[in-house]
A and B are shown apart, each in its own frame.
Chain A
Amino acid sequence: MPLLECRGLVRRFGALVAVDGVSLAIEPGEIRAVIGPNGAGKSTVFNLITSTLKPHAGEVFFAGEEITGLPVHRVAQKGIARTFQRCHVFPALSARENVRIAAQARDVRRWRFFGGRTVVAASLAVADEALEQLRLTRHAGMRADMLSHGDQRLLEVAMALAQKPRLLMLDEPTQGLSIEETDRAVQTLRGMLKKGDLSVLLVEHDMEVVFKLADSITVLHRGRVIADGAPDVVKTNVEVRRAYLGESG
Chain B
Amino acid sequence: MIRFGIVAIVGALVPFAVPQYALTVIVAALIFGLFAMSLDLMVGYCRLFSFGHAAAYGLGAYSAGLILIHWKLPLLIGIALAVGITVLVAIPIAWICTRSTGVSFAMLTLAFAQLGYAMLFRFRDFTGGSDGIAGIPRPPGPFGMDWFQARNGYYFLVLGCLLGSYLLCRAIVRSPFGAVLAGIRENEAKTVALGYNTRAYKITTVVLSYGFGGLAGALYAGFAGYASPELFFWLTSGHVLVMVVVGGAGTLVGPILGAVFFVFLEHQLSQVTDLWPLAFGAIFMAFVLLAPQGIWGFLARVRKDSNAAA
Q: A: which residues have CB within 8 A of B? A: 50, 52, 71-74, 76-77, 81-82, 84, 88-93, 97, 100-102, 104-107, 109-116, 119-120, 123, 159, 163
Residues of A contacting B189 with CB < 8 Å? 84, 88
- B209-235 contacts to A (CB < 8 Å): none
The reply to whether B175 and A114 form a contact with Cβ atoms under 8 Å apart is: yes
The reply to whether A90 and B187 form a contact with Cβ atoms under 8 Å apart is: yes
A83 CB to nearest chain B CB (Å): 9
Judge if B240 is at the interface, Cβ distance under 8 Å.
no
Q: How far is the CA of A159 from the CA of B195 in the complex (A)?
A: 12
The reply to whether A71 and B197 form a contact with Cβ atoms under 8 Å apart is: yes
Name the contact of B195 in the complex, choosing from A100, A105, A109, A120 (C-beta under 8 A): A105
B230-259: CB near A (< 8 Å → 1, else 0) gives 000000000000000000000000000000
The reply to whether B193 and A72 form a contact with Cβ atoms under 8 Å apart is: yes
Judge if B301 is at the interface, Cβ distance under 8 Å.
no
Q: B-side binding surface: helix, strand, loop or mixed?
A: helix
Residues of B contacting A90 with CB < 8 Å? 182-183, 186-187, 190
Which residue of chain B has the shortest Cβ distance to A159 in the bound complex? B194
The reply to whether B192 and A116 form a contact with Cβ atoms under 8 Å apart is: no
Residue picked from B179, B191, B193, most chain A C-beta under 10 Å: B193
Name the contact of B190 in the complex, choosing from A84, A111, A113, A120 (C-beta under 8 A): A84
Which 5 residue pairs are nearest across A and B when measured between Cβ atoms?
A76-B195, A90-B186, A88-B190, A105-B195, A116-B176
Name the contact of B194 in the complex, choosing from A74, A92, A101, A111 (C-beta under 8 A): A101
The reply to whether A110 and B180 form a contact with Cβ atoms under 8 Å apart is: yes
Residues of B contacting A104 with CB < 8 Å? 176, 179-180
Which residue of chain B has the shortest Cβ distance to A112 in the bound complex? B176
Q: How far is the CA of A92 from the CA of B186 in the complex (A)?
A: 7
Q: How far is the CA of A29 from the CA of B197 in the complex (A)?
A: 29
Judge if B196 is at the interface, Cβ distance under 8 Å.
yes
Residues of B contacting A100 with CB < 8 Å? 179
Residues of A contacting B196 with CB < 8 Å? 73, 105, 110
Q: B: which residues have CB within 8 A of A? A: 171-172, 175-177, 179-180, 182-183, 186-187, 189-198
13 A-B pairs in the complex with CB atoms less than 8 angstroms apart:
A73-B192, A73-B194, A74-B195, A89-B190, A90-B183, A90-B186, A91-B186, A97-B182, A100-B179, A102-B194, A113-B171, A113-B172, A119-B176
A35 CB to nearest chain B CB (Å): 23
B98 CB to nearest chain A CB (Å): 14
Q: How far is the CA of A219 from the CA of B179 in the complex (A)?
A: 40
Q: How far is the CA of A98 from the CA of B186 in the complex (A)?
A: 10
Which residue of chain B has the shortest Cβ distance to A110 in the bound complex? B176
The reply to whether B179 and A111 form a contact with Cβ atoms under 8 Å apart is: no
The reply to whether A72 and B192 form a contact with Cβ atoms under 8 Å apart is: yes
Which residue of chain B has the shortest Cβ distance to A92 in the bound complex? B186
Name the contact of B179 in the complex, choosing from A77, A81, A101 (C-beta under 8 A): A101
Residues of A contacting B180 with CB < 8 Å? 101, 104, 110
The reply to whether B187 and A88 form a contact with Cβ atoms under 8 Å apart is: yes
Q: How far is the CA of A74 from the CA of B200 in the complex (A)?
A: 13
Residues of B contacting A163 with CB < 8 Å? 194-195
Q: How far is the CA of A60 from the CA of B194 in the complex (A)?
A: 19
The reply to whether A111 and B176 form a contact with Cβ atoms under 8 Å apart is: yes
Whether A93 contacts B186 in the complex (CB less than 8 A), given A73-B192, A106-B195, comes out as yes
Whether A120 contacts B176 in the complex (CB less than 8 A), given A93-B182, A115-B171, comes out as yes
B55 CB to nearest chain A CB (Å): 23
Whether A113 contacts B177 in the complex (CB less than 8 A), given A93-B186, A101-B183, comes out as yes
Q: How far is the CA of A115 from the CA of B36 in the complex (A)?
A: 24
Residues of B contacting A123 with CB < 8 Å? 176
The reply to whether A76 and B175 form a contact with Cβ atoms under 8 Å apart is: no
Which residue of chain B has the shortest Cβ distance to A100 in the bound complex? B179
The reply to whether B195 and A112 form a contact with Cβ atoms under 8 Å apart is: no
Q: How far is the CA of A97 from the CA of B183 in the complex (A)?
A: 10
Which residue of chain B has the shortest Cβ distance to A79 in the bound complex? B195
A116 CB to nearest chain B CB (Å): 4
The reply to whether B190 and A115 form a contact with Cβ atoms under 8 Å apart is: no
Residues of A contacting B191 with CB < 8 Å? 101
Q: How far is the CA of A113 from the CA of B198 in the complex (A)?
A: 15
Residues of B contacting A93 with CB < 8 Å? 182, 186
Which residue of chain A has the shortest Cβ distance to B178 in the bound complex? A113
Q: How far is the CA of A112 from the CA of B183 in the complex (A)?
A: 15
Which residue of chain B has the shortest Cβ distance to A104 in the bound complex? B176
The reply to whether B176 and A105 form a contact with Cβ atoms under 8 Å apart is: no
Which residue of chain A has the shortest Cβ distance to B182 in the bound complex? A93
Q: How far is the CA of A123 from the CA of B183 in the complex (A)?
A: 15
